[in-house]
Amino acid sequence: MSSLLTSAYLISVGILLMAAAHAAILAHGSGHPRTNWSFAALCLGFAGFQLFNAMQYSAPDLPRALAAHRWANFFSILVVPLIAFAAASLDAKKRPLRLFAGLLGLACLAIAYNFMSPFGYRFYSLAPDQVFTFPWGESLRVLQGQPTLVYRLVRLTSLCVMVYTMNVTLSLMRMKERLSSMIIWIGLAIMGITLALGSMSDSGVIAMPYLGGFGFVFLAGAFSLLVRKEMLAHAQQEQRITRALAEAMQERHRANERADKILHQDALTGLPNRAGFCIRLENLLGLNRRLGTKLAVVLFDINHLGAIKGTHGLTTSDEVLRRVSQRLCARIRDSDVLARTRSDGFALIASHIRTDAGIGVFCEKLSSLFADPVEIDGLHFQLTASTGMAIFPNDAMTAGELLAAAELALHEAKHTGTNQLRAFDPSMKEKLQQRINLESALREAIGRQQFFLCYQPQVCATSGRTLAVEALIRWQHPEYGLVSPLDFIPLAESTGLIIQIGAWVIETACSQLAAWQQAGHGSLRMAVNLSAAQLLDPQLEDTLLGALARNGLAASDLELEITESVLIQDPEHTVDRLVALRNLGLRLSIDDFGTGYSSLSYLRVLPVQAFKLDRTFVDGMDKDTTSLEICASTIRLAESLKLDIVAEGVETEAQARQLRELGCPIFQGYFFSRPLSADAAGRYLQRPQSSPHAPIMPLGQAPTAL
């Protein structure tokens, strides 16, 4: 016997189970979980109904058909409240829960009745066994009989529920859910027709199998298709979201890179800035630690970049920095790091160095950096730099300690002189502390009157008369004792204190000169030393004129000594300043002449009245011919430029005699007198001024030399 309809029932069971699974899946994360869950339950209910229908129709005997019939009835009752519940979940105006509770109660009573009555809840009695045969030969066992009241009630209730469901569907249609509502309508129509046919079959009007479940199978199938469509749309939306997320992440990555650039890159040179440098230093330290190699941190400051900025503008000084960065880049390896961590300079990391010799090679490369001048728009800048270096693991182990050590070395390099490369040395810490202490002591020195001046005579080579005295500052500190100007003047210059100290020197020297002039030394001049910072001070003229006026001195009584190295640092600007001072009537002289390599053409334009021949040449005169030659040619140069020349550091009679023979007109040195206190210098001036051929004050006989 062919079992086509039975198979159709079983297929419908499969479709319903699949629809139930779909609905259950959709219930998670859907906007209508209640609808989906109730639909899933409904599908299961109808699946049970179809299954037991199939079992009933294909049962071999009546008792088994009746047993299956009871279970089919059970499911057919159960679906009524479930349909109502599913429809209500779609209803905009929610029905009271009590109604569904009532429906469920009724369903339970009907179910109980179904299992207790002898023929199930549908029939009071059964008509004789009916067998329905299809045209293709399949025979089904159909049950017919007298319908019960409960059955009629359940039918009525299910009719009401269907009317309610149609009502909800109408409102869905109004809400533009056209496709869904159309499917529900068709499904309901099929169910309605099959329900009517079923009733007719039950009451014996016709004999045919119960097809009510197939109406719902249509609904469930359509639902599954809709779910599939929704899932596809969902997947597409997920793809869109994933794409949008990926784009957002890429944009974020780009924004991070931009922020990283701003945070970690120097805008002027494109090199890493301080923050970028520190990150790289940490990374490279880790790497070198693992590899057991050395790493050098080099801090590199271009000297006098501020002066270039002041005289040629910011654009030029920026260009200088760019050019220097290019030169440095060309000298380092790819694995090294160059960064702009300071306004006037750079920081370097030379990594993976195996031996100390490797560090030496690296330093040599740096030292040749300024062999050629930097040329910008036709201007040539002969640059110098101060460089400080610290090495891992020799000097420090951590990035912070390494940087601090390199800073110390740089500090030391700056104080030692131009173009210095200093490697860190533990004693630097101590020195720095001493310098800090000295600086704070220096700040208090003027207020506490710890400075005083001593005076060293400048003697005429022919008459032996004291023509002038040079004021030399001394610092008497209660703890440090007598501090040499060589130790504290550079510190005063670097801290700016020199302006205040220099003004005090000018005032004190002028008042002392006035006292001596009043005591009868009317033609005596006073020489004071001027440092570079004072020369840049716009108040200098006022300070000088004020001191001269207060002490009733002529400008020509005062001579300003400017060391040659100061003059050549910024020639153009210095010449302008010197002309201004000269125009006030002051005398000017070049101190330590011969040590600064001034060019002859430059000397010609300097408005000075005297050179002071540096004492190193005087000292070397009787030891080497070069010094003697320099002394002779400097004296000749001064003669040809019609300038005075003072020989400094004349310590012996032989030196004095030799210099006199070379034509030097003025001497200063221990042979004549050491620097003297004001009182001692006063007494010195009172002495009979005799010929230098018979020296006035040989070494060792000076009164209270300081």
- Residues at the site binding Mg ion, with contacts judged by CB under 5 A: 529, 561, 591-592, 648
For residue 396, the minimal CB distance to ligand C2E (Å) is 36
Comparing CB distances to Mg ion, the nearer of 411 and 612 is 612
Q: Is 665 in the site for ligand C2E (CB under 6 A)?
A: no
Q: Which does 36 bind (CB under 5 to 8 A by kind): ligand C2E, Mg ion, none?
A: none
Comparing CB distances to ligand C2E, the nearer of 280 and 615 is 615
Q: Is 484 in the site for ligand C2E (CB under 6 A)?
A: yes
Among 486, 599, 601, 694, binds ligand C2E (CB under 6 A): 486
Comparing CB distances to ligand C2E, the nearer of 158 and 531 is 531
Comparing CB distances to Mg ion, the nearer of 316 and 565 is 565
Q: What is the CA radius of gyration of the chain?
A: 55
Comparing CB distances to Mg ion, the nearer of 297 and 621 is 621
The one segment of 316-324, 362-370, 415-423, 647-655 that binds ligand C2E by CB under 6 A: 647-655
Comparing CB distances to ligand C2E, the nearer of 39 and 451 is 451
Cα separation, 494 vs 502, in Å, equals 14
SS (H, E, C) 131-169: EEECCCCCEEEECCEEECHHHHHHHHHHHHHHHHHHHHH
Residue with tokens 């207060």: 550
Q: Are 584 and 619 contacting, i.e. CB atoms less than 8 angstroms apart? A: no
Among 278, 389, 489, 659, binds ligand C2E (CB under 6 A): 489
For residue 576, the minimal CB distance to Mg ion (Å) is 22
Comparing CB distances to ligand C2E, the nearer of 198 and 675 is 675
Residue with tokens 């693991």: 393
Among 473, 578, 632, 696, binds ligand C2E (CB under 6 A): 473
Cα separation, 152 vs 203, in Å, equals 11
For residue 593, the minimal CB distance to ligand C2E (Å) is 10
Among 529, 551, 574, 634, binds ligand C2E (CB under 6 A): 529
Residues touching ligand C2E, count (CB under 6 A):
24
For residue 464, the minimal CB distance to ligand C2E (Å) is 17
Residue 296 CB burial class (10 angstroms; 0-12, 13-18, ≥19): buried
For residue 255, the minimal CB distance to ligand C2E (Å) is 56
Task: Write b or e for each residue in 414-444: b if 16 or more Cβ atoms lie within 10 A of its Cβ, otherwise e.
Answer: bbeeeebbbbbeeebeeeeeebeebeebbee
Residue 528 CB burial class (10 angstroms; 0-12, 13-18, ≥19): buried
Residue 546 CB burial class (10 angstroms; 0-12, 13-18, ≥19): middle
Residue 324: φ, ψ to 5°: -65, -40
The one segment of 55-63, 233-241, 262-270, 483-491 that binds ligand C2E by CB under 6 A: 483-491
Comparing CB distances to ligand C2E, the nearer of 5 and 647 is 647
For residue 588, the minimal CB distance to Mg ion (Å) is 12
Comparing CB distances to ligand C2E, the nearer of 202 and 591 is 591
For residue 470, the minimal CB distance to Mg ion (Å) is 6
Q: Reduced to 3 states, what is the DSSP secondary structure of residue 420?
A: coil
For residue 512, the minimal CB distance to ligand C2E (Å) is 13
The one segment of 58-66, 145-153, 371-379, 479-487 that binds ligand C2E by CB under 6 A: 479-487
The two three-digit tokens of residue 214, written as one number: 């197939």
Q: Is 592 in the site for ligand C2E (CB under 6 A)?
A: yes
Q: Report the site for ligand C2E in 674-703 (rule: CB under 6 A).
A: 675
Which residue, 111, 107, 128, 100, is CA-closest to 73?
111
For residue 289, the minimal CB distance to ligand C2E (Å) is 48
459's enclosing H/E stretch is: strand 451-460
Residue 48: φ, ψ to 5°: -60, -45
Task: Write b or e for each residue in 258-294: b if 16 or more Cβ atoms lie within 10 A of its Cβ, otherwise e.
Answer: eeeeeebbbeebebbbeebbbbbbeebbeebeeeebb
Q: Report the site for ligand C2E in 434-463 (rule: CB under 6 A).
A: 456
487's enclosing H/E stretch is: helix 485-495
The one segment of 2-10, 101-109, 158-166, 664-672 that binds ligand C2E by CB under 6 A: 664-672
The alpha carbon torsion through 503, 504, 506, 510 (nearest 10 deg) reads: 140
For residue 527, the minimal CB distance to Mg ion (Å) is 7
Q: Is 138 in the site for ligand C2E (CB under 6 A)?
A: no
The one segment of 250-258, 334-342, 627-635, 643-651 that binds ligand C2E by CB under 6 A: 643-651
Q: Is 669 in the site for ligand C2E (CB under 6 A)?
A: yes
Helix, strand, coil abundance in the chain, percent, nearest 5: 60, 15, 25
The one segment of 24-32, 209-217, 439-447, 525-533 that binds ligand C2E by CB under 6 A: 525-533
The two three-digit tokens of residue 608, written as one number: 């000075």
The two three-digit tokens of residue 344, written as one number: 């006037």
Binding site for ligand C2E (CB under 6 A): 456, 472-473, 484-486, 489, 502, 505, 529-531, 561, 591-592, 615, 648-651, 668-670, 675
